[in-house]
Amino acid sequence: MKIPISVESRDEKVKKSLKYSIADGSFYSLMVGFGESFFTAFAIFLKANNIEIGLISSLPQALGSIAQLYSTKLISIFKSRKTPVLINAALEGLMFLPIIFVYFFGNLKVTFLILFLCLYWIFRMLINPAWSSWMGDLVKPGERGKYFGRRNKFTGFFTLIALMVGGYLLAANKQNEYLGFVIVFLIAMSARLISVFFLSLKYEPSYTQVSGSAFSLQEFLGKAVKTNFGLFAFFLTTMNFSVYLSAPFFAAFMLRDLQLDYLTFSIIIAVPLITKFLTTDAWGYACDRFGSRKILTMTALLISSSPLLWLFSTDFKYLILIQMYSGFVWAGFEISTFNFILDCTSTLKRATAISYYNLLNGLAVLAGAIVGGIIVKYNSLFWSKYIFIFLVSGIARFAVAIYFIPKIHEMRHVQKATYTDVLASMFSHSPAPFVQSRPVPMHEDPDRKRKPKKYSEDYFSDKD
């Protein structure tokens, strides 16, 4: 008598995989909290100058962005998205070993730190297009806000825990700061390797690279101004240029100008993570209900004010408050941008489109950090070299948001509401009476009285 063999259905595999993805993300976040969060602090410990700090925050990402153009080639070679993700994730984690040993490289320690961080980010960026394409197939479009909001809540929580513990370990080893960095970086490496294990358990839906679905960078740039995703990519790259004018220098401002110890520094940079943890679910539900564009519009304007708030006080309590605000608005911006990318791209073109976007974004981040570093080096307008670049960054963010957002339109059927309504509904689980029951057609922009420019084609979307 034959014993029947139980075969899991696709839905069961997907359900388990989404749970494994949360576990993977949680351990990945421990790596970020123990590792990436202290890269700049480690560079400052190694006596890096402001230009080097800017390069550490941007050059690795730029080179990684160039390298990830080969992500689709790796998918072709392995005939899988899962395999290159696993290989590069493991290599990313192992890069903490040479990073630890740069301390013994004499006058070249900062140079080699930049080199190894570049390799770290190359492995990281080779993962992104394949992973995003993979997750785009696992999560249904109408549930992306809810799922990634929940996943981000876990990842934010574990990043926070790692950050606080890491800060404590560095403070506890004040007499031997290098030992403190060795401990936190080894924990980061271990966490990443555990996350690789959970990645290996995930189900990969069948994926075939169809002839004609590939397109060149030149073709991408040529069609960008005529497509929703292309304009969105330009918006994000110019926004990140504006963000990275100042982003690399907040840590230097706190550790050098404000003379904060590692524990206090960790507390301040942990506050946004706490706020993200508490609000990311609400932002996710808002994205599903009102559309990613609505949330994107609101938060893009709000994040523009974040660096400006650093101009008014250096009091510890004040810094905590502005970091709470920053965490709240960045939580909405990050989840809405990620969901919008998935909405704007089809399964077949997603990996390539994201790789080209990441390339532009990496170059923009590098340019922003270099320009910011030059301004910081030659600026003497304020009591701190860093304050002026915070002001410039805020103004630039506002200009980018005001110019690009009216050009981008929603890709899904969503409910119409004002920004006040969105904020009110985020913290209420019951349907709000102000929401229209009639879905808004995708060709209408719910945030404007007139219709936007009608695109001749949505080349990267599911409508192609």
Task: Tell whether 463 is covered by a domain.
Answer: no
What is the pLDDT at residue 108?
Answer: 94
Q: Give the predicted TM-score (pTM) of the model.
A: 0.72
What is the pLDDT at residue 357?
Answer: 84
Task: Find the CATH number of the domain harbouring 61.
Answer: 1.20.1250.20
Task: Tell whether 17 is covered by a domain.
Answer: yes
Task: Tell whether 445 is covered by a domain.
Answer: no
Task: Tell whether 377 is covered by a domain.
Answer: yes
Mean per-residue pLDDT pooled into runs of 10, the chain (464 residues):
56 91 95 93 91 87 84 84 94 97 94 96 89 86 80 87 92 91 97 96 78 69 80 91 91 88 88 85 83 88 93 91 93 87 77 81 89 85 82 95 88 74 69 38 41 45 48
Task: Tell whether 367 is covered by a domain.
Answer: yes
Task: Tell whether 181 is covered by a domain.
Answer: yes
Interatomic CA distance for residues 463 and 126, integer angstroms: 27
Range of the domain at 283: 13-202+215-426
Task: Tell whether 99 is covered by a domain.
Answer: yes
Interatomic CA distance for residues 254 and 265, integer angstroms: 7
- Please answer whether residues 309 and 391 qualify as being in contact, where contact means their C-beta atoms are separated by less than 8 angstroms: no
Maximum Cα–Cα distance for the chain, whole Å? 87
What is the pLDDT at residue 212?
Answer: 52
Task: Tell whether 118 is covered by a domain.
Answer: yes
Exposure of 54 in the CB half-sphere (CA atoms within 13 A): 24
For residue 82, the Cα-to-chain-centroid distance in whole angstroms is 20
Number of structural domains in the chain? 1
